[in-house]
């Protein structure tokens, strides 16, 4: 799909198929990153899905009240989607496939914005290695759909080691307001075996 999305801080463009690792420090910086990305999507009529580790992300909830033709779905720490005891990457990808299909089935919706914090996922995934295998699979998923995917990594919560490993499976990274083509990205043919 040719549609472009002005993203995050309005200084770069996210095209369909974008899968980006966003690194930040704390919920305030996360919200500063997400608000323009989500607000623009709502104005454009996109469906936006965001999952955060907060119990009540008030700044993001205010976006729901601002209106616009788009639709914002927020999941919080109290609203997990999966159980780590039955972890299966294919089930998670199927969840996103259904989310996209349902969103695009609504008249006027042509683009979907997905974003989720790694700390939200880690309560639903057995461990960090599984998170990284899942993240690697998102590259193929994103390439097949009119979607942009922002994966959110709080450096203060996760530490530099986790963030560095996450960088390896994302073609682009956002760090301190800069978007970089990721020199650490390992394309799937070079990445470890994945289910």
pLDDT digits (tens, 9 = 90+) for 20-64: 999 888 999 999 889 988 999 999 999 999 999 988 888 888 888
CATH number at residue 124: 3.40.50
What pTM was estimated for this model as a whole? 0.84
Domain tally for the chain? 1
- Dihedral sign, Cα of residue 53, residue 178, residue 47, residue 136: negative
11 domain residue, yes or no:
no
20 domain residue, yes or no:
no
187 domain residue, yes or no:
no
The pair phi, psi for residue 18, each rounded to 5°, is: -65, 135
Tell me the residue range of the domain where 74 lies: 28-181
52 domain residue, yes or no:
yes
Confidence of residue 192 (pLDDT cuts 50, 70, 90): very low
The answer to whether 48 and 7 are in contact (CB under 8 A) is: no
192 domain residue, yes or no:
no
């Amino acid at each position: 799909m040719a549609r472009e999305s002005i993203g995050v801080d309005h200084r770069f463009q996210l095209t369909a198929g974008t899968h980006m690792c966003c690194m930040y420090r704390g919920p305030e910086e996360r919200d500063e990153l997400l608000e323009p990305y989500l607000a623009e999507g709502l104005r454009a009529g996109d469906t936006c899905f965001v999952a955060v580790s907060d119990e009540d992300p008030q700044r993001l909830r205010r976006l729901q009240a601002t209106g616009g033709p788009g639709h914002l779905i927020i999941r919080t720490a109290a609203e997990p989607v999966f159980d780590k005891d039955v972890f299966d990457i294919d089930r998670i990808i199927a969840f996103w496939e259904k989310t996209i299909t349902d969103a695009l089935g609504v008249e006027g919706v042509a683009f979907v914005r997905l974003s989720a914090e790694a700390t939200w996922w880690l309560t639903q995934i057995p461990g960090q290695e599984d998170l990284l295998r899942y993240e690697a699979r998102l590259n193929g998923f994103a390439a097949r759909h009119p979607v942009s995917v922002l994966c959110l990594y709080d450096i203060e919560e996760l530490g530099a080691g986790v963030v560095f490993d996450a960088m390896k499976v994302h073609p682009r990274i956002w760090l301190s307001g800069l978007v970089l083509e990721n020199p650490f990205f390992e394309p799937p043919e070079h990445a470890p075996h994945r289910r």
